[in-house]
Amino acid sequence: MSRNRSPLIAAGCAAALALIGLVAPASGHGSVVTVTAQVETPPVFADTGGDADDPAIWLNRADPDSSLVVVAAKKAGLRVYRTDGTLVQAVPAGARPGAAAGRLNNVDIVTGIRLGGHRTDLVLASDRGSDQVRSFRIRPDRPDAPLIEVTAAGAPPVFAADQSDVDGDTTAYGLTAWQHDGHAYALVTRAGRDALALVELVGTAAGTVGYHTVRTLRLPDTFRLPDGTSWAPCEDPGEQPQAEGLVVDPRRGVLYAAQEDVGIWRLPADLSGPGTLLDRVRDYGVPAHYDAPSDECVVDGPDPGFGGNHLTADVEGLTIAGHQLIASSQGDDTFVRYSLGATNAYRGAFRVAAGTIDGSQGCDGLDGFDGALGSAFPHGLLAIQDGTDTGPDAGGREATNVKFVDRSQLRTAH
């Protein structure tokens, strides 16, 4: 099993479970296609407090060859790269006034938002240090320093009721952007909890970006199994099964959320109703308990066979590319593909293997872009985090980085 944590059972969960549909797992993992990366970014070193975690791809519509990949590097802030992998800008994590030091976890892009009387594109980042959504304006006319922070002063915490919540690290975690009917939103998950929040971005007269919470929703933390028993994934004491990876299918108004030890949920993007668990991790339903001496989960019995066939916990990053949902199956270093639409049928899996550069292991986040992204990636790009960078630039130090994969390698892999 993956390292799990012990659950807290939510009041009224039985009623919520009655509203949630479970789709039977598809059969057979099938062959895993191998792809290789063409480009990698420089390593981000753990001993400097950095951790390249989640990428977001920005298209420069006026000059596609100047497009960017922005990466959340946690305590190291943001890293901005060209599509040839070279570093353009390092944005410190900083700290909001009165808040703890920044720890930027996930990023996404908002395009064409009106700010200070002009249309502009933004990078949004979840900040675990302050429990905020932070905003950075993209300046195409400043190729050496394209990002500048425009988070409104006094931006509220997304989840925390008080400072003890922030100090306890139950703060803004996963993040994705959604634009609908002229409004821009961020959907955010909470670390160590089963909560999701929908926040609407609001431009100010000062040219900064604030937000307010529209609604919140909780994913289940206990599940009724086909044999009539209940199961909850093993978690650390005091924690609930968290989600991190998020992506919105804007055409259908559907949010996909990766609950790490459970599976992938399909929900209304506006969080107006409950969701459907479209696929489960392989060890879904396996009984286990947290063992304090080893700080691990210990399996209590045989696998009852209720898990899926494609995902090995943790389920991490999600993206949409090539009209498919792609999920990082972190436990076996593969990426699982599903169709969009009503069925979300399984469409195969791939692995980023070593080629001229090393592959991807333990992937946290990924992002996909369809269509031409300048001369470097005329057929589209997948930016995929590598949780264990072993390239020569790493020099044997613990490091992470991002691999750039030409999406044409997957066009015939269905």
Residue 347 lies in a domain: yes
Measured in degrees and rounded to the nearest 5, phi and psi for residue 14 equal: -60, -40
- Residue 347 and residue 266: Cα distance in Å, rounded? 17
Q: What pLDDT, on a 0 to 100 scale, did the predictor assign at position 49?
A: 87
Q: What pLDDT, on a 0 to 100 scale, did the predictor assign at position 30?
A: 64
Determine how many CB atoms are found less than 10 A away from the CB of residue 376: 18
Residue 223 lies in a domain: yes
Whether 33 and 352 have beta carbons less than 8 Å apart is answered as no
Residue 247 lies in a domain: yes
Residue 315 lies in a domain: yes
- Residue 261 and residue 280: Cα distance in Å, rounded? 9
Q: What tokens were used for 329? A: 């199956």
Whether 395 and 385 have beta carbons less than 8 Å apart is answered as no
Q: Which residue segment(s) compose the domain that 206 sits in?
A: 13-410
- What DSSP line would sit under 308-343, residue for residue? -SSB-SPEEEEEEETTEEEEEEGGGTEEEEEESSSS
| DSSP-derived 3-state class of residue 249 | strand
Q: Considering only CA atoms, which of 384, 382, 244 is closest in space to residue 316?
A: 244
Measured in degrees and rounded to the nearest 5, phi and psi for residue 291 equal: -110, 110
Q: What tokens were used for 77? A: 């802030």
- Residue 84 and residue 5: Cα distance in Å, rounded? 39
* CATH number for the domain that contains residue 129: 2.120.10.30
Residue 4 lies in a domain: no
| DSSP-derived 3-state class of residue 227 | coil
Q: How many domains are contained in the chain?
A: 1
Residue 1 lies in a domain: no
Residue 3 lies in a domain: no
Q: Tens-digit pLDDT profile for the chain (414 aa)?
A: 333 333 322 323 333 333 333 333 333 456 899 999 999 999 999 998 899 999 999 999 999 999 999 999 999 999 999 999 999 999 999 865 555 689 999 999 999 998 878 899 999 999 999 999 999 999 999 999 999 999 999 899 999 998 888 888 899 999 999 999 999 999 999 999 999 999 999 999 899 999 999 999 999 999 999 999 999 999 999 999 999 999 999 999 999 999 999 999 999 999 999 999 999 999 999 999 999 999 999 999 999 999 999 999 999 999 999 999 999 999 999 999 999 999 999 999 999 999 999 999 999 999 999 999 999 999 999 999 999 999 999 999 999 999 999 999 987 554
pTM of the model: 0.92
Is residue 332 within a helix (H) or strand (E), and if so which, with residue range? none
DSSP 43: P
| DSSP-derived 3-state class of residue 186 | strand
Residue 147 lies in a domain: yes
